[in-house]
Amino acid sequence: MIEISNLTKSFSNEKKAVSDLSFKVNDGEIVGFIGPNGAGKTTTIKMMTGILKPDSGSIKINEFDMAKDAFEAKKIIGYISDSPDMFVKLKGIEFINFISDIYRVPNDVRAERIKYFAGQFGLEDVLDNSMQGYSHGMRQKMMIVAALVHNPAVWILDEPLTGLDPQSAFNLKNMMRQHADEGNSVLFSTHVLEVAEKLCDKVIIINHGEKLFYGTLDELKEKHGNNDLEKIFLEMMDNEKLL
Amino acid sequence: MRSYFSLVSVFRKAMKMDKPTEKSQKVKVALLGFIAIFFVMIPVAAGCGIFVNLITGSLSEVGKESIGIELILGFISLFTMVFALNVIFNEFYFSNDIEYLLPLPLRASQITGAKFTTAFLSENFMQFLLVLTSIIGFGLAYDMSFLQWITAIIGGFLLPVIPMVYCAIISLLLMSFTRIIKSRDTIRTMSVIVTFIILIALVLSLGSLRNLDFDNYINSVAEGKDAFAAIMRYIFPHIGFLIEAFAGGSVLGFLKYLGINILWIAVFLVLSELLYLRGMTGLNSAKVKESRKGYEKLLDKCKMKSVEKAYFSKEMKMLVRTPVYFSNCVAISFIWPIFLYVVVRVMNINYSLTELHNMYVENNSDFAVIMLIFVVGISIIMTAMNSLGSNAFSREGKNFSFIKYIPVSYKKQWNIKAAVSIVISTLSIYIYVLIFGIAIRIPVIHMLIYFVLTVLSCGIITYMGMLLDSMRPKLMWDDELSALRENNNTFFNMAVSILIAGVLCGGGALLHYMAGLEFVAIAAIILGVTVCLIIYFYIRSMTQGIKNVISLEEL
């Protein structure tokens, strides 16, 4: 479960990047985080993962408050950042092992999990290579494996489908669904509205750091005349411009 | 031309470190800047000026007044070439902006020209300070006219152009072979090796100056008999024209100087047009060899390590496998004995091991105290020079956020990063001390004292460097070299380190020679001071340093 209450963040006294944002990702739910570029999605995600410190508000990851129990909270988060170019001088297998060591993945399940994820994303043949030679998509797959190898309860994924081939994207979406169905929570940001429409139980739409909508897709459609998500989103952004 | 100026402006902006915003940080940065300028830059520059002034004064009677300035300008040009080679390689071929520049409708010469100008402007500051003080030293002894001063200053500012053009041409030619070599990493490693070969050749050539008698040396230079000066004149003929211009007041000499600069720039731009893109197209990243062979074995090897061991191992791998970090942070730590060799050769020190042993054991502990001071001094200076501490956070670059979201305490991460620096620095110093100690049979207890002092000295500079870097790390960079070269923290750390080394080593020498204290007493005092310093920097790191890391939001 992720519980965000009245989260606010501003940089260098400028306009608020995130303003009084509240929402909840319940166990068993996939929530899509939607908004135009610069809306505050990544800033919110970075606060949720402990990278940025909020000016005010609270973040709870399961029972752990990020302000008080950051260490425990971080242990149960699986986070994919928006940049996959991390530690590219390491071999794929070294990187996954390093992350597994950091998150204390025990010996008896480690190889099995690496094998499973490598199979899901077609990485078996390249694990023994330096990640410097990987394509953008391959690096993104490595980031996914690294984020999930410790079997975290809460998945926080910043545009996880970027750069993935269709098969890998399909597999990741299935994994997200399965993880939520097992009683865990998944939050992911995306610009691909069709994916959000098909996959998410709820969506949060933000712009200029402020929440425009939070709820189920049915509620959204009910409110905006049964259009598809793309049309509704564009309408909402147009209305924002008029304000 | 507009594209060229736009590119220069963009590259210059990308290079700059952000200015501190908080008042307390502004004060700290200003203080560090003051220390760096007044305790490092000005003394070194003034030394050059005084050297030239004295030589010019003493040789003016025999009509050879320009020998001193010629030698200094030659040395500065040579060192410019050594240090610029790696920079030019990185700027031309390995910075991340290249892949965005190549698809733009720009001529190859516009890209290389703009990158060259940026490198020239950023690398030239210290060189120009040295050239300027040397010119002042010369001018004061030689009584130059206003016009001569002007030509000297303009000419001095342009001095690094030709050495840097040489670097640019070497990189263009070497990269033309990428069609054969292809791997980006191989080329990068080759550029590092070439830089090291030139540096070592330069240092060793200085070492060939046996039993230096300064008067004889100056005479041999003046008579054109000195091999080093002769080579200088051959490699850098423009220095002769510059001296002709400002020492001889020759307008023609100045025109020749400008002409030769323009000629070399033209050659470089033409070669850029011919070779730059060709070199680029042959360049690949490391090849991915797909193979499932051994996949099961690979999985079998996946065994859990402690967080400390895993993090330490990751840091080491990143340092060793990134050519820029390997050359600037690791390899550089191990080459200091080459410089020591030069000193030994120049001073014609030629003792047998037995003689050295006797000197160490007897001789009123003079030798032992000198060795103690040397070990502390070299540990401090080399740890500052390898900058493993002062760029520990800057090296993370855009991955800095990783430090924040993993479930490993900041304290632990800080100490592991420090351990990496202390281990490499200590190893690079003590391995030679140990060999020397065994060779001349230094008592074991002394060797232990040297070891403890090496670890403590490396530790002090590491924690201090990390503390400085945590204040304002350079996290936005296009290539790894920028994280090091455009990082003021390294420079500030070096400045404060020189101060600390001065106090510890100077204090130790004074206590021995003035107050008559023996080895054990001096070792105990230095040990006490270093323990106090490391406790101070450790506590500051674990409190203020960690606060700095937490508050960093340049992500």
Condensed to tens digits (0 to 9), the pLDDT of residues A53-71 reads 999 999 999 989 999 999 9
Tokens 């030629």 found at: B350
Contacts of B309 in chain A (CB under 8 A): 101
**Other Cβ atoms closer than 10 A to B333:** 22
Q: Say if residue B204 is in the same domain as residue B351.
A: no
Identify the CA nearest to B284 among candidates B187, B381, B371.
B187
Residue B142 lies in a domain: yes
Tokens 């409110």, located at residue: A223
Assigned domain for A64 exists: yes
Same-domain pairing of B266 and B357: no
CA distance B153 to A227: 73
Contact B401 A46 (CB under 8 A): yes
Are A6 and A15 a contacting pair, CB within 8 Å? no
Q: Rounded CA gap, A94 and A129, in Å?
A: 9
Task: Tell me the pLDDT tens digit for each residue of A140-199.
Answer: 999 999 999 999 999 999 999 988 999 999 999 999 999 999 999 999 999 988 898 899
Residues A219-235, mean pLDDT to the nearest whole number: 83
Residue B116: closest CA among B225, B307, B261: B261
What would the mean pLDDT of A36-49 be, rounded to a whole number? 93
Domain that holds residue B32: 2-9+24-281
Residue type, A106: P
Residue A40: inside a domain: yes
Q: Which of B417, B416, B419, B426 is nearest to B452 (CA)?
A: B426
* Contact predicate B512/B524, CB 8 Å: no
The residue type of B276 is Y
Longest distance between any two alpha carbons in chain A, whole Å: 58
Distance CA B171, CA B191 (A): 8
| A·B CB contacts under 8 A | 117
Closest approach of chain B CAs to the CA of A165, in angstroms?
18
Cα B186 to Cα A88, A137, B177, distances in angstroms: 16, 24, 11
**Alpha-carbon separation of residue B296 from A115, B289, B293, B301 (angstroms):** 9, 17, 8, 9
Q: How far apart are CA A35 and CA A38, in angstroms?
A: 8
Quote the CA–CA distance of B162 and B235 in Å, as a whole number. Answer: 10
Q: Does B510 touch chain A (CB under 8 A)?
A: no
- Residue B102 CB: number of other CB atoms within 10 A? 14
DSSP-derived 3-state class of residue B145: coil
Asked if residue B297 is part of any domain, the answer here is no
Contact B82, B198 (CB under 8 A): yes
Q: Give the number of other Cβ atoms within 10 Å of residue B511's Cβ.
A: 17
- Same domain? For B177 and B261 the reply is yes
Q: Residue A10: enclosing H or E segment and its boundaries?
A: strand A2-10
pLDDT surpasses 60 at A242: no
Report, as ranges of residue numbers, the positions in chain B whose pLDDT lies below 50: none
User: Residue B22, CB half-sphere, CA atoms under 13 Å: how many?
Assistant: 8
Q: Residue B207 burial by CB count (10 A; 0-12/13-18/19+): exposed, middle or buried?
A: middle
Structural domain contains residue A217 = yes
Asked whether residue B116 falls in the same domain as residue B65, the answer is yes
Residue A61's domain is classified under what CATH number? Answer: 3.40.50.300
CA distance linking residue A65 with residue A1, whole number of Å: 12
Q: Which helix (H) or strand (E) holds A61?
A: strand A56-61
pLDDT of residue B284: 57
User: Residue A194 domain-assigned?
Assistant: yes
B286 located within any domain: no
For residues A91-129, b (16+ Cβ closer than 10 Å) or e, as one string?
Answer: bbbbbbbbbbbbbebeeeebbebbbebbebbebbebbbb
Same domain, B421 and B535: yes
Instruction: Give the distance from residue B95's alpha carbon to the nearest chain A alpha carbon, in angstroms.
Output: 15
Write out chain B residues lying below 8 Å of A90, CB-based: 314, 317-318, 321
The predicted pLDDT at position A141 comes to 94
My answer on whether B217 and B79 are in the same domain is yes
Give bridge partners of residue A64 from the DSSP assignment: A61
Q: In terms of C-beta density within 10 A (0-12 exposed, 13-18 middle, 19 or more buried), how is residue B399 classed?
A: middle
Q: For residues B136 and B246, give the distance between their C-alpha atoms in angstroms, rounded to a whole number.
A: 12
Question: Distance between CA atoms of A154 and A27, rounded to whole angstroms?
Answer: 9
B329 and B273 in one domain?
Answer: no
- Which domain does A16 fall in, by range? 1-76+179-243
Task: Give pLDDT, residue B168.
Answer: 92
CB of B404 within 8 Å of a chain A CB? The answer is yes
Instruction: Dump pLDDT digits (tens) for B159-172.
Output: 999 999 999 998 88
Domain count within chain B: 2
Q: Say if B293 falls within a structural domain.
A: no
Q: Identify the pLDDT of residue A99.
A: 96
Q: Tell if the CB–CB gap between A53 and B550 is shorter than 8 Å.
A: yes
Q: How far is B464 from chain A (nearest CA, A)?
A: 24
- Among B295, B307, B404, the residue with its CB nearest the CB of A51 is B404
Residue B99 forms contact with A (CB below 8 Å): no
Residue A210 lies in a domain: yes
- Chain-chain contact of A81 with B401 (C-beta, under 8 angstroms): yes
Residue B376 and residue B277 in one domain:
no
Residue B428: closest CA among B336, B505, B342, B490: B336
Task: Answer yes or no: do B245 and B349 share one domain.
Answer: no
Among the three residues B259, B281, B303, which one is the final residue of a domain in this structure? B281
Neighbours of A206 (CB within 10 A): 24
Residue partners of B117: CB distance under 8 A and separation at least 6:
B4, B8
User: What residues in B contact A50, CB-CB < 8 Å?
Assistant: 404-405
Q: Which residue shows structure tokens 């103690």?
A: B372
pLDDT at site B206: 63
Looking at the structure, do residues B385 and B513 belong to the same domain, yes or no?
yes
**ipTM for the complex shown:** 0.93
Question: Is B19 at the interface with chain A, CB within 8 A?
Answer: no
Q: Which residues in chain B have their CB less than 8 angstroms from residue A124's CB?
A: 292, 295
Answer yes or no: is B195 within a domain: yes
Phi, then psi, of A209 in degrees rounded to 5? 80, 0
What distances in angstroms separate CA B233 from CA A61, B61, B83, one per listed residue?
Answer: 70, 23, 20
Those residues with Cβ within 8 angstroms of residue B154's Cβ, 6 or more apart along the chain or in another chain? none
| Chain A CB within 8 Å of residue B186 CB | no
- The CA distance from A42 to the nearest CA of chain B, in Å, is 11
B300: closest CA of chain A, how far (Å) = 7
pLDDT of residue A1: 92
pLDDT at A12 over 80: no
pLDDT at A232 over 90: no
Q: What is the DSSP letter of A211?
A: E
Query: Is residue A164 one of the residues assigned to a domain?
Result: no
pLDDT tops 60 at residue A14: yes
A1 lies within 8 A of chain B by CB = no
What span, in angstroms and rounded, lies between the C-alpha atoms of B516 and B482? 48
CB contact under 8 A, B318 and A93: no
Assess A58–B contact: CB distance below 8 Å, yes or no.
no
Instruction: For residue B12, give every residue at least 6 positions away whose Cβ sits within 8 Å of its Cβ, in sequence order, or none.
Output: B118, B121, B122
H or E, element range at B114? helix B108-142
**From the list B292, B318, B405, which residue is nearest A50 (CB)?**
B405
Number of domains chain A contains: 1
pLDDT of residue B183: 62
Residues 6+ apart with CB under 8 A from B251: B245
Q: Chain A within 8 Å of B514 (Cβ-Cβ)?
A: no
The token pair at B424 is 């490499």
DSSP label at B105?
S
What residue spans of B65-107 are helical by DSSP H? 67-89, 98-101
Domain end residue (candidates: B237, B263, B281): B281
Max intra-chain CA distance, chain B:
81
In the Cβ-directed half-sphere of B444, how many Cα atoms lie within 13 Å?
A: 0
In whole angstroms, give the CA distance from residue A130 to residue A146: 15
For residues B231 and B347, membership in a common domain is answered with no
Q: Are strands A64-65 and A56-61 parallel, antiparallel or unpaired?
A: antiparallel
At residue B350, the pLDDT reads 74
Contact A125 B405 (CB under 8 A): no
| Amino acid (one-letter) located at B160 | P
Would you give the end-to-end CA distance of chain B in angstroms? 34
pLDDT for the residue numbered B482: 78
Torsion of CA B305, B306, B307, B310, to 10 degrees: -40
